[in-house]
Amino acid sequence: LKSVIKGLKEESPDYAVVMAPEDEALPRLVSLLREELSSTTILNCEPRTISYLSDKANLVEIAERIGIRIPLSVVVDVDDLPSIRSAIKDVGFPCIIKPRIGAGGHGCRLVRNREELWKTIDFLSSLGIMSILIQQYVEGVDASVSLTTDGNSHFLISTNAQLLEVREGWISYKGGYVPLEHESTSPSKSYAVKLVEKIQGLMGYVGIDFVLARDGAYLIEVNPRPTTSIVGIVRALPSA
């Protein structure tokens, strides 16, 4: 890292962007570069916003407050068995289990019954994950909206398809394609713009994940960073 910062200081670029998941490392790296490269504009979201959005409980609160559809979601501690049972009663099966804090879909599992539920919770607990989100499973097309913002104005780039693989319940990202044509892309774009307008500290490229269901778009996650979709977007752009 020291050699990277040294090289950037020597090059003195006008702009720079940190490419990393929004775990604990990303906000620290953004803060460090802004301190060390005073003459360079860092095109990342504010560190406090990155940390805030890595907590999925905050996203649920934002969506409910500003009127954006999100699957029914309940935050529980892995050792709070009564709350887990109550959450399952409300959410039902199948459902999605994911760590409360995290990025990139790591630790997300589709569970279809109580046996899978308890096995998943035991496994996540063994990794030191103490708080989880139990979320309603919504069937539909996995998608994302890519856009850029300077904190005031914003530019919608594209709606992208996400190809997810479910193996023994565990969910992993396997790629995607751009652009995506779907009857629910319009509401997903409207939701994306509304989120960018309401969440302070977003800057540069932002990727927002949705499930496009028959009855509309459901918010899944806000990624305050460049996402993998940017690879397809760049390839789809006409050559200069």
Dump the DSSP string for 11-37: H--SEE---S-TTTHHHHHHHHHHHH-
pTM for this entry: 0.93
pLDDT, average across residues 81-107: 94
Rounded (10°) CA dihedral 80, 23, 186, 172? -70
3-state secondary structure of 177: strand
pLDDT tens-place string over residues 191-209: 999 999 999 999 999 999 9
Q: What is the pLDDT of residue 24?
A: 74
Angle at 239 between CA 235 and CA 240, to 5 degrees: 140
Q: What are 144's strand-pairing partners?
A: 160, 209
- Residue 239 pLDDT grade (very low, low, confident, very high; cuts 50, 70, 90): low
Q: What is the pLDDT of residue 15?
A: 93
Report how far Cα 34 is from the mean position of its chain's Cα atoms.
Answer: 23
pLDDT, average across residues 61-83: 97
CB distance 142 to 110 below 8 Å? no
Cα distances from 217 to residues 61, 163, 238, in angstroms, run 17, 17, 29
Residue whose C-alpha is closest to residue 191's, from 57, 54, 69 = 69
Q: Is the pLDDT of residue 151 over 80?
A: yes
Q: φ, ψ for residue 210 (rounded to 5)?
A: -140, 160
CA distance 107 to 82: 22
Q: What are 108's strand-pairing partners?
A: none
